[in-house]
């Protein structure tokens, strides 16, 4: 153990954590609602919400709504913000958590009418944060980055989730995904940078995925 680097130890733990979904990701709850997230990332989210206090959080990829509920509760605690969460289909809508800060929308996150509707929902002067957690294939994620990055206010975040797939370090057989989309997006966009300070807990499901818009 002593001759192993911290990076090797973190990688092994990441692979172990990810390999048993029934014990970890599939068994993680916020106030009884399933949230398929790494708790270390959820803790970072609450730090961002406390520091930045966004007026609108756009979540692409609702699933059963557990993370939207977590975000809504954090907004309650900081007394600011609302959530628009988007999924390509309704998954047992009667089971989704109800909260006055959450608005559910159904459709592809890259469909022109969905994108236009989200843009129209942003009020004058509102601070916006976006979390991408829908289809994890590169082309889809890149489309989301291009569609929603203009909404991000200076200093705020565009978070790309599950950039750990395609061997970063899990699911090497996935094919080009979020990490590759991030690389292509940043190669053609100077307005954002990777905020490595948000990876302070060593393991994150979103490596290089905490993108922050530069302040003028």
- Measured torsion, CA atoms of residues 171, 177, 183, 187, in degrees rounded to the nearest 10: 170
* 59, 141, 171, 184, 213 from 54: Cα distances, Å: 13, 22, 33, 26, 13
Rounded-to-integer distance, Cα 114 and Cα 147, Å? 10
Q: Which pLDDT score is estimated for 91? A: 74
Q: Domain 6-213 belongs to what architecture?
A: 3-Layer(aba) Sandwich (3.40)
pTM of the model as a whole: 0.96
Per residue in 169-203, pLDDT (tens digit) is: 999 999 999 999 999 999 999 999 999 999 999 99
Give the residue-averaged pLDDT of 153-157. 98
Do the Cβ atoms of 81 and 103 come closer than 8 Å? no
- Whether 1 has a pLDDT exceeding 60, the answer reads no
pLDDT surpassing 80 at residue 85: yes
């Amino acid at each position: 153990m002593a001759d192993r680097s911290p990076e090797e130890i973190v990688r092994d733990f990441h692979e172990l954590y990810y390999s048993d979904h029934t014990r970890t990701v599939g068994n993680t709850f916020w106030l009884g609602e399933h949230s398929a997230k790494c708790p270390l990332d959820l803790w970072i989210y609450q730090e961002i919400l406390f520091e930045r206090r966004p007026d609108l959080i756009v979540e692409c990829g609702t699933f059963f709504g557990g993370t939207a509920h977590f975000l809504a509760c954090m907004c309650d605690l900081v007394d600011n913000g609302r959530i628009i969460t988007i999924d390509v289909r309704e998954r047992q809508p009667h089971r989704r958590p109800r909260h006055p800060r959450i608005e559910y929308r159904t459709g592809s996150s890259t469909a022109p009418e969905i994108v236009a509707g989200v843009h129209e929902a942003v009020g004058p002067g509102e601070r916006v944060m976006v979390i991408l957690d829908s289809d994890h294939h590169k082309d889809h994620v890149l489309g989301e980055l291009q569609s929603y990055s203009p909404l991000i206010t200076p200093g705020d975040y565009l978070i790309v989730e599950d950039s750990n797939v395609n061997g970063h370090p899990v699911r090497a057989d996935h094919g080009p995904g979020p990490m590759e989309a991030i690389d292509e997006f940043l190669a053609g966009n100077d307005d954002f940078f990777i905020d490595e300070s948000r990876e302070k807990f060593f393991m994150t499901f979103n490596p290089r995925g905490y993108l922050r818009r530069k302040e003028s």
